[in-house]
Amino acid sequence: MVSTETVTALATSKHDTVYVINFWATWCKPCIKEMPYFQALADHYKDQAFSLIFVSVNRPKELSMVDQFLEKQALSARTWLLNEKDPNVFIPAIAEEWSGAIPATLVYHPASGYRAFYEREFTLSSLHDIIDPLME
């Protein structure tokens, strides 16, 4: 369980790492469909300065449900559950341009000040399209 600040603090991390933060929920079908692509991307960059974090927007009291869901998935990336209630508070705090739809993905490269926000679904190739240039 993490606060909104834990997520946004990654932007000012001192590490020369590309952070890919994917917002999802157990009941969001398009989210679940794309999670393996994010994992495959993380596996591809496993020995490099790359960090994938899945952030669930399930309700805090659904922690055990999120855990049960994850046990059935072949996802090794870090997973956080957002310990926040009101989307009108956490959505603009995480990304002002986020209209509120999920899936949503935030990309930070603090070393270069790079930040991008995507309110869309990804395939593995469309993920490579946006991340590969950052990893060069």
**Binders of another protein in range 43-102 (CB under 8 A):** 57-59, 85-89, 91-92, 98-102
Cα gap 27→135, rounded to integer Å: 32
Cβ at position 25, least distance to another protein in Å: 8
Q: Are 107 and 134 in contact (CB under 8 A)?
A: yes
With CB under 8 A as the contact rule, the residue among 7, 18, 21, 28 that binds another protein is 28
Q: Are 107 and 18 in contact (CB under 8 A)?
A: yes
Nearer to another protein, 76 or 87 (CB): 87
Cβ at position 6, least distance to another protein in Å: 19
Q: Which residues 6+ apart lie within 8 Å of 75 measured at CB?
A: 35, 36, 39, 54
Only one of the segments 5-13, 44-52, 73-81, 115-123 lies at the binding site for another protein (rule: CB under 8 A); that segment is 115-123
Nearer to another protein, 19 or 90 (CB): 90
Through-space distance between the first and last CA atoms of the chain, rounded to whole angstroms: 33
Q: Are 114 and 107 in contact (CB under 8 A)?
A: yes
Count of C-beta atoms within a 10 Å radius of residue 19: 21
Nearer to another protein, 88 or 125 (CB): 88
Residues that bind another protein (CB under 8 A): 25, 27-28, 30, 57-59, 85-89, 91-92, 98-103, 119-121
